[in-house]
Amino acid sequence: MTAAEHREPEGYVDLHCHLLPEVDDGAKSLEESLAMARALAGVGFRTVAPSPHAWADAPGPEAIHERRRALQEVLDREGIPLSLHANAENPLDEELFARLGRGDARTLGAGRVILVEAPFDSPLPSVLDLIFRLRVKGFRPLFAHPERCHEFAKNPRRAGEAVAAGAMLQLELGAPVGRYGKAARKVAERILADDLYAVAATDLHGPLGADRWIPEAIEALFDRVGAEHARALLADNPGRLLRGEPLAAEVA
């Protein structure tokens, strides 16, 4: 079956993409945003929580809210069936905890989940302590692209330890099909085999090739884990997190 034939009736949910124009290293213009949106909608996504980087020198929450509102208006006018929601990609650093202390941390939707990224190239020995500190404050981290982060790539036990500590892991759809190289593919395959991913997302940064590689990656995911599991990663679980609900497996 193709990715189109696998589509979820109510649509997939993408909790990690850089769709908003001119805010970070994602879409460079409104035209790129629209091309990316058409690629997402074309493969079956209906809900997107754009995740601009919460860098210190990046636009703040109010500016991001306005960009998201403006883009939603254009999507509606263009007939692109995507619903946009609040989100941000937060560096897992002390600035995040400072924002938590000020009450202005940027969460996923209206819930208590925070999309975070560990450093790509440097170790983070305190990652379990950082997870604990977030949990104590009532927040739950969702780790972006663990396949490409040093901490998860170099320590095969770290993914399981992080999940046991209360974190969640987000599969980057392109990783298992080699989009980010052999090393990231190997880590993704290991985490998939251990059934440690909570959700899958595109981490889309630009429109080039998106209408080709995203459906290929979705089809590969269905082939690898089966329809029920793939739909949980692409639709049910991310939808629950966006609504502030626990995952189905946690209430079963």
Bridge partners of residue 197, in order along the sequence: 169
Question: Could you tell me the residue range of the domain that residue 167 belongs to?
Answer: 12-246
- The answer to whether position 252 is within a domain reads no
- The predicted pLDDT at position 6 comes to 61
Q: How many domains does the chain have?
A: 1
Specify the long-range contacts of residues 244-250, CB closer than 8 Å, at least 24 apart.
244/109, 244/110, 244/111, 244/112, 244/113, 245/111, 247/168, 247/198
Neighbours of 62 (CB within 10 A): 8
**211, part of any domain:** yes
How much is the pTM?
A: 0.94
> For residue 201, what is the domain's CATH number?
3.20.20.140
Say if 5 falls within a structural domain.
no
Q: Would 1 be classed as within a structural domain?
A: no
Asked if residue 120 belongs to a domain, the reply is yes
Identify whether 2 is part of a domain: no
Tokens of 161: 């330890």
- DSSP conformational letter for 26: S
Angle, helix 210-225 to helix 30-43, in steps of 10 degrees = 30
| pLDDT at residue 186 in the model | 97
pLDDT above 60: residue 2: no
- Under the banding of pLDDT at 50, 70 and 90, the label for residue 33 is very high
In this structure, is residue 23 part of a structural domain?
yes
pLDDT at 8: 61
Average confidence (pLDDT) over 36-43: 98
Residue 9 pLDDT level (bands cut at 50, 70, 90): low
- Asked if residues 171 and 12 have their Cβ atoms less than 8 Å apart, the reply is no
- Flag whether 186 is in a domain: yes
